Amino acid sequence: MVIDKPNGSDAAKETLAGRAKGGLLFMGGFVILLYGIEFLNTFLAHRLNADFGLRPRNVAGILDIATFPLLHANFNHLLSNTLPLTIFGFLAFLSGFRVFITALAFSWLGSGLTVWLIGEGGVTVGASGLVFGLFAFLLVRGFFNRSWWQILLSVVLFLAYGSILFGVLPTVMGYVSWQAHLGGAVGGIIAAVLLRPKGHSYRRA
């Protein structure tokens, strides 16, 4: 009995399809979690924001770096983050779970640390730092990877969403945390640098 083995092209297609399915499931589940938290937060008159939102330079609340992206000021705030977060997260997931989780983690940590270090008072909540981090990661990774299709994707994303990069600039609008945006973007770029292909160097004997 002869069993046909899939060739390299078929295996690559199966891998990409599996990653696409995983990306949809993961991002779908994450978005559902965000909406579930917001429903609960609304029911509690947004008391969760006061307890788990991020306050700059508050030593006792530094662990809130882990929770503040999961909270939002209201449903309009969450809605504004939903589509770009889903798109950017899905596209990052196509490169594999390790790549995605690294980009997400550095975006999360970069956003939180920047707010904690140079934020301007009040409580910061929202997933926009993750949006900026994943976006920045997708924009630059192709140049580090020397991948033409990733560079092409970055051009398309820049044309479609490039205007959001103004969100990393200091703003007079007190309700917008440019620090979260900037820190998330820096975290995404760091992730792209760390995930770049490593070259091999050899010494001659």
Instruction: Name the residues annotated as catalytic.
Output: 128, 181
Contact at 8 Å (CB) between 63 and 111?
no
Q: Quickly list DSSP for 70-132.
A: G--SSHHHHHHHHHHHHHHHHHHHTT-HHHHHHHHHHHHHHHHHHHHHH--SS-B--SHHHHH
Residue 67 per-residue DSSP state: T
Phi, psi of 124 (to 5 degrees): -105, 130
- The residue length of the chain stands at 205
Reduced to 3 states, what is the DSSP secondary structure of residue 136?
Answer: helix
Reduced to 3 states, what is the DSSP secondary structure of residue 54?
Answer: strand
